[in-house]
Amino acid sequence: MDFAYYFLKEGTSNYVKTELITFLTSNPNITPPDPNSDELDRVYTYKHPVLGFEAYFVMSDRNVINHLDRISPNYFDVHFYVHFNVLLTDYAAELILDIVDDITKRFRFLTYNEAFPDVVPFKRPLMLKAFTTWKRTYAGKNPEVVAKYSYLDSSSYGSVLNYMQKQMRLELTLEDQKVVVSKYCFYKTEKSRTAFIAIKWDGISPFILPPAIDILILDDGKTTRFISLSEIMSKAKKLFTIIDGYGDISILDSSSVKKLYKILTKEKFSPLSVKLEELTLNNILDI
């Protein structure tokens, strides 16, 4: 199921369409429609370059808002809207709203969704609330769909996606220091929707500790151990340093590698009590 925001103007439906087309096509992450297509709807497909989710900006030759009689008569449908999967994360919806915000400012558009009492200027809290309400309603009516996915709370999911967008910059910044910029691994258990977030460490390299980690996997070539990060931090928090300008992202530098490895191999940690199965990020929802 898709969720949509519609664009309108007050007093007129006129605007310079070529300027909107130029705006959309100037975004390197937006693919324009086939110029030879005879479809009434011209779809400009946005795909996030790192996170991979999509949104569809649609220009049409017809009214796109159902039940226009429900809104005030001085607002006019400009035949332009954006829609995307209702099960996207709140974080992804926020990034789409960044584009929507820019469009409304440039073209003096107003916005509408069926959850709104009427047409409104761009109001991020209201628009995000409408999205999350629709998402929860859809999930409540379609539990069999949601049950196919694992779950991360919105805060943790947002931290994961935010870190993923910073990975390339970290790799470039730390290239000369030979620091491993850790990548996330995701796991689930057989009888729960809860997703667990992990990183792997070889026991010999300085590495980045991303936010929202549940498990550190020590894989030193001799053994593989799944260790709770909260237990590790209770014994070794002082070995990690927050990186300035990166929020809650930490680093274990070369001077602390042997100390951490000794703690992980000599100290006692709770054994893993469940069987974990690896999964991909696109099999996780924040609802």
pLDDT along the chain (287 residues), means of 10: 96 95 97 82 96 97 86 94 98 98 98 94 96 97 96 97 95 91 96 96 98 97 94 97 92 97 95 91 96
The enclosing H or E element of 110 equals: strand 110-112
Give per-residue pLDDT as tens, 103-160: 999 999 999 999 998 999 999 999 999 999 999 999 999 999 999 999 999 999 999 9
Q: How confident is the model at residue 69, as a pLDDT? A: 82
The DSSP code sequence of 192-211 is --BEEEEEEE-SSS-EEE-T
Q: How confident is the model at residue 9, as a pLDDT? A: 96
Report how far residue 10's alpha carbon sits from residue 6's, in angstroms, rounded to the nearest whole number: 13
Q: What is the DSSP letter of 225?
A: E
CA atoms within 13 A on the CB side of 123: 11
- Neighbouring-strand partners of residue 200: 217
Q: How confident is the model at residue 39, as a pLDDT? A: 75
By three-state DSSP, how is residue 159 classified? helix
Q: Which residue has the tokens 């909107």?
A: 20
Phi then psi for residue 262, to 5 deg, are -65, -40
Q: How far is CA 252 from CA 57, 143, 173, 220, 267, in A?
A: 43, 42, 15, 16, 18
259 Cβ partners below 8 Å, 6+ apart? 236, 239
Amino acid at 13: S
Q: How confident is the model at residue 168, as a pLDDT? A: 93
- Cβ neighbours of 210 (radius 10 Å): 24
By three-state DSSP, how is residue 144 classified? helix
Report how far residue 286's alpha carbon sits from residue 280's, in angstroms, rounded to the nearest whole number: 14
By three-state DSSP, how is residue 265 classified? helix
Report how far residue 37's alpha carbon sits from residue 44's, in angstroms, rounded to the nearest whole number: 13
Q: How confident is the model at residue 40, as a pLDDT? A: 78
